[in-house]
Structure 1
Amino acid sequence: MKTVYVLNGPNLNALGKREPGIYGGMTLSAIEDDCRKAGDELGLAIEFRQSNHEGDLVDWIQEAGDKAAGIVINAGAYTHTSIAIHDAIRAVSPLPVVEVHLSNIHAREQFRHVSMIAPVAVGMICGFGPLGYTLALKALADRL
């Protein structure tokens, strides 16, 4: 069974209570459950993690380069600022990475329109709420 790392960045641990008008009412734990269910259906083992610390995400991307078949990442606000995450993803290429966002980052503040991850990802899914994670896993499974 192929392993996919599902990595989550800052403030995603507060889902369910943080700005539900933007991010919805589902908790990260419930999203993890959905990812594990989708993984079972797709024949993928899911390694699901969250950190508010950029270095943890970089470490996990590097780890995935040795242990995983692909990565789904919602880097939160680091999407728009982290050259370190961009470089880590680039370093594990050709490992496929799918970028996910709960909200449509292109319909929000201007500073959210630029993704440092998009240039090194195989694709981006945004604006579909928690369903985006399942869509990303399906897209990644198809690519694998």
Structure 2
Amino acid sequence: MKRLLVVNGPNLNLLGAREPEIYGSLTLAQIEARMQEWARARDCELRCFQSNSEAAILDFIQAEAGAAQGLVLNPGALTHSSVALYDCLRALALPTVEVHLSNIHAREEFRSRSITAVAALGVVAGLGASGYIYAMEYLIDRDE
């Protein structure tokens, strides 16, 4: 059985209420429930985590990486600012797919640059909640 981590960064706990015209109307709990259902059907274990704290996110990834085969990461605003998260991803070499609900390249200029994407195998952006499923599918099916 494969084990994937799903990590969501700052303010993603506000999904469903926060700018639904940009991020959609689904809550994080609804997105995670869809992911869990998809994973169960493929005999995959998911461990989901969200925090507004960069330190908590780093601690979680470091603690869980050894038992996981991949990471689906929506770093939120940390995408554009966290060298610490980038360093963590590089140090652990855990296969990672970065996900963004909105198309970060069609938004404010500062959002179009991702520090963390350089440490990821790929990026899914602008496809809403489906992006999480696409990232999971890639991590489960990819050649190792």
Which residue in the other structure is 1:44 paired with? 44
How far off its partner does 1:42 sit?
A: 2.4
Distance in 1 (CA, whole Å) between partners of 2:42 and 2:76 is: 25
Runs of 4+ aligned structure 1 residues displaced above 4 Å come to none
SS state of the match for residue 42, structure 1? coil
1:1-144 to structure 2, matched below 5 A, reads: 1-93=1-93, 95-143=94-142
TM-score (structure 2 length as normaliser): 0.96
Question: Which moves more between the two structures, 56-65 or 31-40?
Answer: 56-65
SS state of the match for residue 111, structure 1? helix
Q: How large is the Cα RMSD of the aligned pairs? A: 0.9
* Contiguous gaps of at least 5 residues in structure 1: none
Distance in 2 (CA, whole Å) between partners of 1:38 and 1:107 is: 29
How far off its partner does 1:65 sit?
A: 2.2
Distance in 2 (CA, whole Å) between partners of 1:91 and 1:64 is: 14
How far off its partner does 1:89 sit?
A: 0.4
Question: Which moves more between the two structures, 1-10 or 63-72?
Answer: 63-72
SS state of the match for residue 132, structure 1? helix
Distance in 2 (CA, whole Å) between partners of 1:9 and 1:78 is: 7
Q: Once the two structures are superposed, what CA deviation does each residue of 1:41-82 show, in whole Å capped at 9, x if it has no partner?
A: 222100011000000111112123212111000000000000
Distance in 1 (CA, whole Å) between partners of 2:19 and 2:84 is: 27
Amino acid at match of 2:124: I
* Contiguous gaps of at least 5 residues in structure 2: none
